[in-house]
A = this chain, B = another copy of it.
Amino acid sequence: MKAEIIGIGTEILLGEIVNTNSALLSRKLAGIGVDVYYHSTVGDNKKRLYEFIKTALKRSDIVITTGGLGPTIDDVTLETVAEVLEKPLILEKGIADLIDAHFKKRHIKMPQNNLRQAYIPKGATWLRNNIGTAPGLVIKIDRKSLIALPGPPREMIPMLDSYVLPYLKKQSKNKAVILSRTLKTTGLAESQLHDKIKGFMRLSGDTTVGIYAHPGQVDLKITSKASNSIAAKRKINSIEKKIRRRLGRLIFGVDSETLEENTLKLLRNKTIAIAESCTGGLITSRITDIPGASKNLLCSIVAYSNRSKMELLDVSYETIKKYGAVSMQTAKAMAISARKLSRADIGISTTGIAGPAGAINKKPVGLVYIAFSTTLKTLVKEYHFSGTRESIKFRASQSALNMLRLYLLR
């Protein structure tokens, strides 16, 4: 079944609110095997809404609208739906009673406006709203369904879960489900990763692999449509296995797992200490977002000034003078010192130029050194990151965590 979603509201077209309903509806519909082909948004305008609903009913089996069910004259969904379907609006006593009760409970006199919400197109089934006063609607037209839901997510979501999804599941002859799994990678750019796995990008049939780039991270999403969830999972497992064979340790996590979460898990009982300069506390903050981080993270020193590098981290004056604060040598000294100061198993450090100012002769914005130190060895790597100050900070933190992760996997 083909579905489409129409968001109604001038506030969306003005950009005052972001329409999150369409994304949420799409995810839930995909979960029951309903394909969403279009999202659209119209303002609180009868003429344009009329056109939209008409077009949608021509090309889709299921049309879901959100919004425009409120009590004010701006809210035109009910009357427009009635016009498209050429049905009269009739007073539904059950709705009127609920609206009345809603106000009585709050000791407020019901504004006369609110009764507008009780007039629905003849033949429609109404859906109870347990949060607000706007009822939802389900209207069956031959083999098609038009469903009108309220705009506020806190009213829309319970209605969707309690009535709409069960209804659509019953309508759907197609018992197919769509499942997906995201493999998260770091260390390669989108196009490099694409080169490695392009053989999987055009899979035949109902399984697809999508590639989504974020700063310092590229996600691969395997999506599979099958007659039931066991079959869909089996297909996903098989592709995942093949992709893992190709990508190995480039993959750090699955679905919602973050790089910091995965790295912390790999640390087991090892302790770490961090010395940050250009990342300015971001590595530490990301690690401490994870519950239980206190078991592994002993301390972190953000040594932003040269003096604090010398005084708090024992970087020698000579090292800074000879090589500069942004250098392999300084990065190494910082990582060693963080580790020794706190008697941690592993020390990590960053020093670089996050910009936008600060570039010096031969040291451009985006140059970052990341060092890693254990009692056995100290490594340092040079990176060149691009983007804004914030994205350079983030990419550097991503590389530092990844360096730690790869060491723990060695």
A residues neighboring B (CB under 8 Å): 7, 10-20, 22-28, 30, 36-43, 48, 70-74, 105-108, 110-111, 113-114, 131, 152, 154, 178, 180, 189-192, 194-195, 201-202, 210-213, 215, 221, 223, 274, 276, 279-285, 287-289, 291-294, 297-305, 307-308, 311-312, 341-342, 354-357, 384, 386-391, 393
Contact = CB atoms under 8 A, between A and B. Distances in A.
B294 A298 contact: no
Contact of A26 (B15, B39, B279, B390): B15
A299 B294 contact: no
Copies in the complex: 2
List 9 A-B pairs, minimum CB-CB distance, nearest first: A280-B288, A281-B284, A15-B26, A15-B27, A281-B281, A39-B41, A299-B308, A300-B302, A281-B285
A354 B342 CA distance: 23
Contacts of A152: 213
Given A111-B195, A298-B305, A300-B281, A386 B289 contact: no
Nearest to A357: B291
16 contacts: A17-B23, A19-B23, A39-B39, A40-B41, A71-B191, A71-B194, A72-B211, A73-B202, A106-B189, A111-B195, A113-B194, A274-B302, A280-B289, A281-B285, A289-B390, A312-B341
Q: Interface centre among A39, A192, A307, by most B CB within 10 Å?
A: A39
A31 to B, nearest CB: 9
Contacts of A19: 18-19, 22-23, 39
